[in-house]
Every structure is written in C-alpha cells, then in structure tokens.
Amino acid sequence: MEKKDPAGFRTWFLANFSVEPLFFRIWSAVAGAFSLFLVAISPAIPVKILSVLFAAGIVGINALLARSHARADSYGPKQFAAVKKSANYFALAVFCFHSVALIFSWSAGKLDDFSYYVVYAVALACSATYLPVFLALVNKRNQEKHGLLESFQKGGRTRYRQVKLYSGPVPWVLSWVDAFVWAATLVIFVNSLFFQLYQIPSESMVPELYVGTRVFTVKTLTNPEIPLSLVKFPWVTGMNRYNQVVLNNPRYETKKERAVQDFVGNFLYMLSFTLIKNDKFDDNGSQIADPLIKRLIGLPGEKLMMVDDVVMVKTKDDARFKPLQGDSAFAYNLKSSRAVDRRRIQSLILTEDRVSKLKAWDEEKKAFTFSDAVAKLQAWRDGLAAGKIPASSGSIPATVKVKFHFDARQALTPAELDAYAAWFRTDRKGFLAELDAFLFSWKSSPAPGSAFEENALKVDLLFKLKLADVLGKALASGTAATEMDVGALNDFAFNYVQNFFDSRNFAPFPAGDAYLAKDEYFFLGDNRYNSLDCRNWSSLGRRKPLSALDPRSLEYISIAEAFSVKAGYIRGLALFAAF
C-alpha cells in the first residue's frame, strides 16, 4: 500500500470508524488505570496477572491504532467488522473482569462493604465511558456507511439487511459463537434487572406449585441487581398481600469466604435457566434451599397470630385480632377444599385418617370450657380419692419410675400404668398430692392473654382429661382393659400436639407491643403442614411446655420461632408457573 502523509488522528479515526476518538481515549485511560488499581488491591496472584494483561491489552490496542494511523491505513468492510467485534468484546471482557475481581477482593477482606460499593461505582463509571463508542459502532447508518449493512425501502420506511462478507464453515461457526455470547450477556442483564426463572425447591407451595416447577419472576420492582456484582437497587414496590414472592433464604448467611462460590453458582443458575443447580449448605454441612418462594401474608404495621389454621391479623388501630380475610383461598390445610395432585406429592401429610382424627379432636376441644374441665377433673380426682381401691402390699416396680410429667413424643406404656397403680396403692396421699399439682396448677396462672394462649391451654387440658380417663380405668380394672385407650391417648399427644400443633398455631408476632416495621414482611407457605417459613427459623426444635400458663403442662419438641423478613431479602414477584 502506498504510504501517505498521515492526517490528524481524529480525522483518520472518524473516517475509518465514525467514532469520536476522544471517547475511546477516555475509556482507554480510565479502564487501564482501574486495571492497574486492581493489581494493588487483589489478593490472588491470578487476578493480579489478569489485571496486568488487561492493562497491557488496552495499551496494545492504542499502539496498534497509532501505528495504523501513521501508515494512513484505510479500513474496508471486513476490517471495520473485525474492529467492531474485537473492540466491543474486549470492552465487555474488561467490564466483566473488573466486576468479578472486585468480588474476589471483597471476599478476601481487602474491601469492606462501603469500600466495595464505592470502588464498584468507579468501575461502573469506567465502563460507562465506553458506551458512546459502542453506540456509534453498532449504529445502523454507521454500519451501512462502512459496508456491513445495506438499506432498502419497505412500507415507506428504511430497512436494513446484512451484507454477506464471508462464506464457509468458519465464519458460520463464529457467527453462532457471537450470537451465543451476546445472548448470554443479554440473559444475565435481563435476569438481574428485569425477569428470571426460579425453580421450586420444596413442597411448601403445594398444591399450586410442586417441586421442580419453574416460575417466571419479575425483579424490576424488588431489589433489582446490577449484573456481575453484589449491588442491588434498594427498593421494594408493588408488594400486595397474597403475592407469591421469591426471596433469599434468611437462614443462609452470606459470608465473605463463600461470596465467589455463591456468585459463580448464581451466574450458572441464571445462564442455564435453572438447569444447573446452585446447591448451598449451612455451617453444619446440611443442604439449604435458596432462594425460596412463599406467600406474602403479613405487611408492615401488622401483628399476626394463627389459631387452629386460622390466620389472624391486628394493627395498632384494631382493638383485637380478626381473621385474615382471603387466606383460606390459598392455604392448603385441614379446612381447605383445594384440590391436590397426589401423584406429584412426595410427602402426603393430610391422609384421610389424619384428617378424620384431627377434626374429631378439634370437636372434642370445642365441646368443653375451662370450667367444664375443672369440674370433670375435680370430680374424677375426688372419686378416685374416695374410691375403694384395695391397697397393695407391693412396691413401685424398681425398673419403672413415674411422675406426673409427660412428653408428647414419649408414649405411655402398660408398665408405666402399672407403676402409677402401685404408687396409688402404696402411697395414696403422695400420689394424690402430685396428681392435684398436675391437674390444677394452671388455675393460679393469669387468664389467657390471647386466643393462642387460650387454645394451647385447652389442648393441654384435653390431654389431662384423656389421661384421667385412661388412668382411672387402669386403677379400677387393670392395664389390660386400657390398651385401646392408651393407644388413643398416645396418638392424640403425638399427632395433635407434637406433629400438628406448631403447624396450625403460632403466638402473636411480633410479641408485646411491637408490630412489623416498615421494611418487614411475614411469609407463609401454602402447604401449611409442610413448610419451613416465617413461623419457624429451623426444623430443629426445643423442648417446651404446650401451655405457658400451666406449670405442669404437657411438653413437646417445638420448632415455633417466628421471625420477619427484611425487604432486602426479596428478589422478585412470581407471576406464573412457566413449566
């Protein structure tokens, strides 16, 4: 090529690329400087090396352009296409590398939270300086000018079509690679800022959503994320009661040392449309579901309570709790008429037998008042004291020690009934004293302060009434005559109390005079008997009395530990099941 005296660089640059060179030089300067800054703050040697390579790449590109200008090179369509693709790919790679490198630095403790946000804002500003270059290179008129597109008229409007510059298998493959890269980039940006698919990890939303169902979620209104970063726009709008909400599991603590692993997992989860699972584990190594999808039940300014499946709500302006209207349309529980596809359920909890028993126990509980219970228990106790049950010369079996203290998980056995009978016959006075304390200690407690406390005490008293019936028969007729009654008592304690009480009831939350704050929400799963939600922080329970008003209450292992979810955990609103 014949060499010519070089024109001014700006004139040459505009003639070949139709891009203002000042924009490219600004981007080159700030992006190169930021890459060198990463060398100083990055703890990992590979990140330092890549930072130097990217800075060197920027210098190299500018050197090549300067050399080309000095030679007064003229770029044809193929050369322009190569420059357009290379420049845009390299700028994208620089942005991605800067973003990920900052996550590495934050994860290693080189940046605190505030510093990370400040430095990321600088990185974002650096990348934003490339936008004028990008927009000019992809401008259709610019591409037409440089021979990549040709225009034609259709319907009175100017249209453009691609000019075929290459043929053969290699350009065909490269075109598909190009399409894939930009499609993946688009997926990440759209998934972070606008919409995303999430896969249902558990059965908590049965019967509407089953395990494996993928839901289409809009994220724009609820903490949208800046792609390839830890930064979110901190706003939550458009939240209405009964929305299905996707949220980060508040039980999964985001730790710095796991930040890179979580980032890569979320990236692959987005890119694969949930096909690549992002498994997470707690500090004990147990797998934990994240993200979650739950039903929004409690809103800021409210206090909630559940009594026998009925969710109740109260605000500061309300004198008392009132049933939450509309909740029964979504809840799948004992009182629900919602149809369920049993073929898709892994854990069928509401069997016909259980439903029948739970409803029968509910009716038994409703059939008596506190005064009725006192009268029945007192009459039984007085009859027991006055009855002519022969004294025994034997002693309490040494192998079985009994007291009036009961655990819903531990079945009452015939041997224990024999021990109670022996105790009664050998030490009637001591037996009756302990029995009185067990039956009536609750009477000196304050009256129930809520419907929850009233319900818990009634369940506790129903257990005492059933126990009195069994014990009375055992003392009068022997344990052989009470086998079926003992089985029914144990069934009541294990199922009605241990298995279902916490699933059907929770105490007023927040406790005391508090209400949900302006950035707090309360979520429940639709499948009320198989959902780890805001009623329970963990599936690991602790021993507690069924009724806090009864010093001698039946005890059980409770998982009740209500909590609220801060707005920052919300990831999106689930609109519909995609597949």
Q: Is the pLDDT of residue 549 over 90?
A: yes
User: Do 20 and 71 share a domain, yes or no?
Assistant: yes
pLDDT of residue 393: 41
- Could you tell me which of 196, 264, 189, 259 has the C-alpha nearest to residue 227? 189
- Of 86-90, 393-397, 444-448, 464-468, the one with minimum mean pLDDT is 393-397
Based on the fold, state whether residues 143 and 204 are members of the same structural domain: no
Q: What percent of the chain has pLDDT over 90?
A: 69
Q: Per-residue pLDDT averaged across 96-123, rounded? A: 93
Same domain, yes or no: 201 and 271:
yes
| Residues 523, 86: Cα–Cα separation, whole Å | 48
Instruction: Give the per-residue SS3 of 255-277.
Output: CHHHHHHHHHHHHHHHHCCCCCC
Q: What is the pLDDT of residues 5-32, one digit of tens each?
A: 445 999 999 999 999 999 999 999 999 9
Structural domains in the chain (count) = 2
Claim to verify: residue 215 and residue 82 sit in the same structural domain: no
* Residue 562 DSSP SS3: coil
pLDDT of the residue at 426: 87
- Pair 156, 242 in one domain: no
CB-CB contact of 187 with 274 (8 Å): no
Whether cis (ω within 30° of 0) applies to the bond prior to 300 is no
Q: Which of 113, 146, 165 is the last residue of a domain?
A: 165
CA distance linking residue 518 with residue 316, whole number of Å: 13
In which residue are the tokens 């990236």 written? 267
**Do 142 and 274 have their domain in common?**
no
102 and 45 together in one domain: yes
Share of the chain residues as helix, strand and coil, in percent rounded to the nearest 5: 50, 15, 35
Pairing outcome for strands 506-509 and 302-307: antiparallel
* For residues 99-127, average pLDDT: 93
* Neighbouring residues of 110: CB distance < 8 A, sequence distance ≥ 6: 41, 42, 43
Strands (E), 141-205: 149-154, 157-162, 195-199
Averaged pLDDT for residues 321-350: 92
pLDDT in the model for residue 481: 62
221-254 pLDDT, tens digit per residue, is: 899 998 889 898 888 888 999 999 999 999 887 7
For residues 47 and 142, membership in a common domain is answered with yes
User: Over 60: is that where the pLDDT of 110 sits?
Assistant: yes
179, part of any domain? no
pLDDT for position 531 = 95
Residue 419 lies in a domain: no
Distances in Å between the alpha carbon of 526 and those of 130, 214, 297, 332, 532? 48, 17, 10, 6, 11
The answer to whether residue 307 is domain-embedded is no
Statement: residue 43 has pLDDT above 50: yes
60 and 98 part of one domain? yes
Residue 449 pLDDT = 95
pLDDT tens for 188-209 read 889 999 999 999 999 999 999 9
pLDDT digits (tens, 9 = 90+) for 448-471: 999 999 999 999 999 999 999 999
**Within this chain, do residues 159 and 197 fall inside the same structural domain, yes or no?**
no
pLDDT at residue 400, as a whole number? 56
Mean pLDDT, all residues of the chain: 90
For residue 434, being part of any structural domain is answered with: no
- 10 Å Cβ neighbour count for 421? 22
Residue 246 · residue 215 · CB < 8 Å: yes
Instruction: Give the confidence band of 401 by pLDDT, cuts at 50, 70, 90.
Output: low
- Return all residues near 147 (Cβ < 8 A) that are at least 6 apart: 76, 77, 80, 163, 165
Domain presence at residue 251: yes
Q: Say if residue 89 is in the same domain as residue 225.
A: no
Please indicate, yes or no, if residue 469 is contained in any of the structural domains.
no
User: Are residue 96 and residue 224 in the same domain, yes or no?
Assistant: no
**Domain that includes residue 64, residue range:** 9-165
Residue 465: its pLDDT value, please?
96
Q: Compute CA distances 102 → 58, 76, 190, 367, whole Å.
A: 19, 39, 22, 65
Residue 124: C-alpha distances to residues 142, 432, 490 (Å):
26, 78, 64
Residue type, 112: D
Question: Model confidence at 554, in pLDDT bands (50, 70, 90)?
Answer: very high
| pLDDT(350) > 60 | yes
In a domain, 43, yes or no: yes
Q: Is residue 217 part of a domain?
A: yes
